[in-house]
Structure 1
Amino acid sequence: MAASSKQMSRSRLSRRQILSAALALLVPLSLPLAVRADQEAKKAFGAVQAPNSGAPMPIGSYAKGCVSGAVQLPDDGPNWQSMRLARNRHWGMPQTVATLERLSQDAARLGWGQGILVGDMSQPRGGPMAFGHASHQIGLDVDVWFTPMPERRMTAEEREKLPFTSMLDKSKFLTVDPRKFTPTAARLLMTAASYREVERIFVNPAIKKKLCDTWTGDRSLLGKVRPMYGHDEHFHIRLQCPPGVPSCKAQAAVAAGDGCDKSLAWWFTDEPWAKPKPDPNKKPPPPPRPVMVSDLPQACSAVLAAPAAKGAAVTATSFAPPVETEAAPASDLPLLPPNAPAPVPRPRG
């Protein structure tokens, strides 16, 4: 048995070493001039319309990376419709697509309309986006709207213009509207949290508090549901790094417990929403330097420069359900983030 275990360990190490070597080879010595000259990352990745070829692989961290060999969630599935199609952000890792297919089926079973409306995932090659997200860069993040899928198929124009539905009561600070955030909405959210491949789910602090006050199911799952600014119109699902993929930068573990503690209570104090007081005698700081392609993991330059894959669109049903493996959920987003606009309903494009 001991010899067998050592042999298995050497085998796993060998696979990791091979994968790391393959990643290094992704970056050729003579990249195209446009890449070698460096570019602003959000403009460079935003301009690419299709993924590169190769095995799907997340590279870097959720907020600083890219994705090689991304697959596309179709515009329509039996129990989902993709929204804001013009953004071209319905790409990701196969397990992300498969998780959405699974959740859409569970949503219909729960009575959440005909299924789910899927918001932003990642760009065809991941990377930073021009607007809307700091993360969503490695194909393992997706937004699901707090709006049930209607019976009929919406047109492309309707999918661009359908307004978001906030779960908040506009007349009360950080309070959910029970007419909108229904028990079915809570069950849908907690169903997603029950998937082992799901690392975290970001929601508005008011939604987290409502779950803490009312959820009677498995409360150990509440720890995955994390309060964050905004997120009153959708919930953000984050999947764990695939096991045995060293190119994907895992996150720090979430603290044990259900999160219904002082870390949640902090959101209901003045501190998170206080605006910084400007010093009239202090010179305004220069605008922050934009993130360049060279700031991302080295392999992302080659992903960006690679030719487009042929037949890039891949259906969710091409993949088996994601492998359920344990991982410590965490986030690159801080639990106690710096000052930012309050999470009130607001129009978005």
Structure 2
Amino acid sequence: MKKTLFMLFLFALFFLGITMALANPWERAGLPSNGQEQSIGSYANGCLQGGEAMPLVGEGYQVIRPSRNRYYGHPDMIAYLTKLAGKTKGFGLDDLLIADISMPRGGNFTSGHSSHQTGLDADIWLSFAPERLKKSIVEKPTAISMVDLKSYSLRRDNWLQEHAVLFQVAASEPEVARIFVHPVIKETLCEMTWEDRTWLQKVRPWWGHHYHMHVRLRCPDGSASCVDQATPPQGDGCGSELISWRPKPKDEQKKVVKTTKKKRVKIKPEQCLVVLRQ
């Protein structure tokens, strides 16, 4: 009896997942829309017109989990990733693992991301591939964390000098607006000696990014309806702002009172309706 109930429960979850996916028109769009390439709206509430697919394999990189169909981006993003992989390859790094960019027409996900909606966000795992990965591994790669989350410290057995090179090269490109990483990784980069530290301004601390970096580009030319994020604060971001992310001792932690505020429904730009119909 218990086994039967458990099987019914699993079936219900499976059916619910399919129903949710079918209810999301952005996830049903299997191909990019027609029209001139444009990123429309904001990173967390927008869409992508005239998107371009990232080739699954190229010089210095491999796309992972391609069955998710999230390897589409604004042509500027595809050009950036291709350029970055070529540069890191030239510095002797193994292949980059390119994860989620956007869906074919951008838009919101049923689960997983709140941003990545305009083709201007991309995740790059902090694992390198010394050789061409087998198909089974490409679809189900193993993430390697750079941070011991319990002790809030760097996992030095996983961190390589090549990671520092990757961050510097990735953030130094002028089209980059931000690169999100776990605060411990930002601290590690701040503690290193650099001739030029200006690129560190773009490396922003954010929870969850301990096994990958999240690259965000500025709004491209020709995307008049694209909404840029505010410029990061001046400086390298290695001072009190970064220290504030460190966990506080239990006796200093304030009790947080949870509230049940209703989430505001985001209305997409009208142009996104056109993108869906194309």
Superposition TM-score tier, normalisation by shorter sequence: 0.7 to 0.9
1:165 aligns with 2:140: no
What secondary structure sits across from 1:263 in the alignment? helix
Q: Counterpart of 1:187 in structure 2: which amino acid?
A: V
Task: Say which of 269, 272, 285 aligns to 2:260.
Answer: 285
Amino acid at match of 1:300: C
> 3-state SS of the aligned residue for 2:90?
helix
Match of 1:176 among 154, 164, 170: 154
Task: Give me the whole-angstrom Cα distance separating, in 2, the residues matched to 1:41 and 1:93.
Answer: 25
Q: Secondary structure at the match of 2:244?
A: helix
Relative contact order higher in (CA < 8 Å, ≥ 6 apart): 1
Q: Which residue of 2 aligns with 1:90?
A: 71
* Unmatched runs of 5 consecutive residues or more in structure 1: 1-38, 279-283, 307-349
How far 1:237 moved relative to its partner?
0.6
Is the contact made by 2:187 and 2:242 (CA closer than 8 Å) also made in structure 1? Answer: yes
Q: Does 1:74 align with 2:49?
A: no
- Superposed displacement of residue 275, structure 1: 7.3
SS in 1 for 2:129: coil
TM-score w.r.t. the length of structure 2 is: 0.85
Match of 1:49 in 2: 30
Question: Which residue in 2 is equivalent to 1:20?
Answer: none
Q: Which moved more, 1:62-71 or 1:146-155?
A: 146-155
Contact 2:186/2:205, CA 8 A, preserved across alignment = yes
Q: Give the distance between the partners of 1:102 and 1:201, measured in 2 at CA.
A: 16
Q: Say yes or no: does 1:259 pair with 2:237.
A: yes
Higher strand share: 2
Letter in 1 for 2:144: T
Contact 1:117–1:145, Cα closer than 8 Å, also in 2: yes
Give the gaps of 5 or more residues in structure 2. 1-19
Partner of 2:128: 148
Indicate whether 1:102 and 2:91 are aligned. no
Contact 1:42–1:127, Cα closer than 8 Å, also in 2:
no
1:221 maps to 199
Q: Which structure 2 residues correspond to residues 111-260 of structure 1 after superposition, within 5 A?
A: 111-113=92-94, 115-155=95-135, 157-169=136-148, 172-173=151-152, 175-260=153-238
Residue 67 of structure 1 aligns to a residue whose secondary structure is strand
Q: 1-side partners of 2:254 and 2:224: how far apart? A: 40
Q: Describe the shift of the 1:40–1:159 C-alpha distance in structure 2 as closer, same or farther (beyond 3 A).
A: closer
Partner of 1:63: 44
Higher mean displacement: 215-224 or 137-146: 215-224
Distance 1:48 1:117 in 2: 24
Query: Could you tell me whether the CA contact under 8 Å between 1:40 and 1:290 is conserved in 2?
Result: no
Identity %: 38
| Distance across 2 between alignment mates of 1:143 and 1:274 | 33
How far the C-alpha of 1:47 sits from its partner, in A, is 1.4
Question: Are the equivalent residues in 1 in contact too, given 2:21–2:110 (CA < 8 A)?
Answer: no
Cα RMSD for the two superposed structures: 2.3
Partner deviation per Cα, 1:32-84 (whole Å, 9 max, x = no partner): xxxxxxx9998110111111111110000111100001000011112211111
Contact 1:112 1:185 in 2 (8 A): no
Q: Report the AA paired with residue 125 of structure 2.
A: W
**Counterpart residue number, 1:305:** 277
Change (3 A) 1:260 1:70: same
Over 3 Å counting, the alpha-carbon distance change for 1:107 and 1:277 in structure 2 is: same
